Amino acid sequence: MILKHIFKTAVGGLSTHKSRSLLTILGIVIGVAAIMIVMSLGKGAQDLILSQIQSIGSKTIAIVPGRQPKGPADIISTFTDSLKERDIVLLKRKENVPYLAEIMPIVFGTEVAAYGNETYRPTIIGVTPFFAEIYNIYPAEGENFTDDDVKSYSQVAVIGSKVKTELFGDENAVGKKVKIKGRNFRVIGVLPEKGQLSFLNFNDIVIMPYTTAQSYVFGIKYFNRLVAQADSEANVPQTAADIKATLRNSHNITDPSKDDFFVETQAQALETVGNITNVIKLFLAAVAAISLIVGGIGIMNIMLVSVTERTKEIGLRKALGATNKDILSQFLLEAVILTGLGGIIGIIFGTAISFGASFVLTKFLNLAWLFAFPLSAAFLGIGVSAAVGLLFGTYPAYRASQFSPTEALRYE
């Protein structure tokens, strides 16, 4: 029996029971579609996070209080008060960190802001004017605050576009005052619509001098973060090492394992995030692949039923000269066609859903989310689904090939 005839016979056998065939491949379709969705959205999320990290520059160094998180349970350890004003003073000394170009403390939190009868709860960020440079965002209306405003604890603020809309509507916000924690802050600038960047939604933000935020809004004497910048990309590793040495000396730490802070360059952040997202993608894809196993078991069951129902057909083919190998090939091919077709349909559905999700995230959540079609996931889906067909189709096909022609023809 030539391959063309085997293929034609296999397709004919499947088309006889179209509804059964469609229901049989449903598990494969779901499994492959799930893998495509996980890999596509995972790649989109990874690209978004990495691009946001890269957006603040390769010379940037983050200094975070607490121990470096090794897992989700360690995140809470970063909310400590280990970074203080004396650390800024020491880090600014050239003899301690000679290649440091700039350092900026950051404090943040959420508070209710009010104007007239309108209230809104934005994110409050206390920083220095360097904030505008490092994130490349400047007021579209009004102006930014100055270093003198930081030194004098000025009660001024630059607000995001959404904050402006929520509190002022169509009014001009510049020059007006918003009330936060019982104090009036004069709006001196309004940011352009920017959206999400480096984990901050710039539309939903109120920026003020960090001294003002510490004293009048949060009532703290420590920093939630420090952001440093080396004078050149080549000096980033040395600057990071100098920062660690200076802070250990400041905090009287002799054992690095006892650090109450951690320093992370953009290259390290990119590597860490890339590793984490890759592990998550693979884990979710493995979970989704379980449905392929379930689909494979369903295919084996249906094929066994099909073999039993077609016993006479098998006997007749053998009587006309079909060999065990021909029968085995026919039923194996049927299983592979079913799973292969399921894989193709799954790729189409998974891609369509991923594209729709990317469109929604971009259009309605204002994220710079790019649709990604993972070729590796498509090849994986087709390959695994075909392998499932071979694996779970082997026993029914072998059973069919072992039928005796005379017994098969007498089967009722």
Listing DSSP states for 62-124 in one string gives EEEESPPPSSGGGGGGG-----BHHHHHHHH-TTT-TTEEEEEEEEEEE--EEETTEEE--EE
Average pLDDT, integer, range 303-308: 70
pLDDT one-digit tens code per residue, 116-156: 999 999 999 999 999 988 888 899 999 999 999 999 999 99
Q: From the centroid of its chain, how far is CA 202?
A: 20
Residue 9 has pLDDT above 70, yes or no: no
26-55 helix and 266-309 helix, angle to the nearest 10 degrees: 170
Rounded distance between C-alpha atoms, residue 181 and residue 159, angstroms: 16
pLDDT one-digit tens code per residue, 249-298: 999 998 888 888 988 877 666 566 666 667 776 776 677 667 677 777 77
Residue 393 has pLDDT above 90, yes or no: no
Q: What is the pLDDT of residue 130?
A: 92
C-alpha torsion 120→122→127→131, nearest 10: -110
pTM score of the predicted model? 0.59
Q: Does 207 or 12 have the greater pLDDT score?
A: 207
pLDDT one-digit tens code per residue, 40-76: 887 777 776 666 655 556 688 889 898 776 554 444 4
Q: What is the CA radius of gyration of the chain?
A: 32
Residue 79 has pLDDT above 50, yes or no: yes
Rounded distance between C-alpha atoms, residue 312 and residue 316, angstroms: 6
Listing DSSP states for 130-177 in one string gives HHHHHHT---SEE----HHHHHTT--EEEE-HHHHHHHHTTS--TT-E
Q: What is the pLDDT of residue 373?
A: 80
- Scan for tokens 């090492």, then name that residue: 241
Mean pLDDT lowest among 17-21, 56-60, 341-345, 361-365? 17-21
Q: What are the domain boundaries of the chain? A: 3-52+272-410, 99-233
Q: What is the pLDDT of residue 82?
A: 86
Rounded distance between C-alpha atoms, residue 369 and residue 357, angstroms: 10
Q: Dihedrals φ, ψ of 186, to 5°?
A: -80, 125
Q: Does 409 or 175 have the greater pLDDT score?
A: 175
- Scan for tokens 């990874």, then name that residue: 46
Q: What is the pLDDT of residue 197?
A: 65
